[in-house]
A and B are shown apart, each in its own frame.
Chain A
């Protein structure tokens, strides 16, 4: 199937994308960090970050976006899996079952009393895997003629 290419001027779409992509990504980061006490978390945050990248793919062509981001998504997926597994392995050092998570209140210099949970690290792994897998699927489908 051949696509007929009518050249259109995407100036409005591209300008709006340049603004909206930042807002989507910052919102996805907010969702990622709010996952412990409120709805959100690694999975939905990763999907929203990937959706911002997909919006960029829609507004610009694939080459531009690949040059802009310059991320190897397969390596990103591997990194995410590694982080998730290592947070599980870390529980062996304290003689507790695999994937046992803990949290503690830490006095940080600027933030004051902050609850730091190891579950956030596991969530970071999930986040990276979701971005990597989503973008790999979409770019692979997009590049095949």
Chain B
């Protein structure tokens, strides 16, 4: 992915040198045509085209924003309800993400979801210990995290 992005920049610079025009507009033109060339010759790369990675990152950003808004509304509901009916508790979540940055992003996303908060990462980076505001539906929470966040993060690093 990084290699393709560098190649695209390189092609944009070659375009600027060939057209003898060093404006930002010429750079964008070259970047666009370089992108077309990279799409045309995608069989040469072992990795998929990097636009898809960028789209995956934008998707992750939108998931993050929507969860942020949802979590604030959920906490608002709990605060404004007249009776305190929550059952706090801590559960473990096995994760199959491996890299440091993936675990960091997953932890931050879980912390921003309604009613969950990462308190500890195990020594081998395999298990996250999560404090839940309402422990009643642990299995459901686990499934939610697995289906949304882990999938989105895996899609970025694929």
A residues neighboring B (CB under 8 Å): 7-9, 11-12, 14-16
- Is chain A's interface secondary structure helix, strand, loop, or mixed overall? helix
Distance in Å: Cβ of B1 to nearest Cβ of chain A: 18
Question: How many angstroms between the C-alpha atoms of A12 and B111 in the bound complex?
Answer: 12
Question: How many angstroms between the C-alpha atoms of A9 and B103 in the bound complex?
Answer: 12
Question: How many angstroms between the C-alpha atoms of A8 and B100 in the bound complex?
Answer: 15
- Which chain A residues border B104 with CB–CB below 8 Å? 11-12, 15-16
Distance in Å: Cβ of B129 to nearest Cβ of chain A: 10
Whether A12 contacts B107 by the Cβ 8 Å rule is yes
- Which chain B residues border A7 with CB–CB below 8 Å? 123
Whether B100 contacts A9 by the Cβ 8 Å rule is no
Counting contact residues on chain B (CB < 8 A from A), the size range is 10 to 19
Chain A, residue nearest B99 (CB): A15
Whether A9 contacts B120 by the Cβ 8 Å rule is yes
Whether A9 contacts B101 by the Cβ 8 Å rule is no
Whether A12 contacts B121 by the Cβ 8 Å rule is yes
Chain A, residue nearest B121 (CB): A9
Other-chain contact of B120, A8, A14, A15, A16 (Cβ < 8 Å) = A8
Of residues 105 through 126 on chain B, the ones whose CB sits less than 8 Å from some CB of chain A are 107-108, 118, 120-123, 125
Whether B103 contacts A11 by the Cβ 8 Å rule is yes
- Which chain B residues border A12 with CB–CB below 8 Å? 103-104, 107-108, 118, 121
- Which chain B residues border A8 with CB–CB below 8 Å? 120
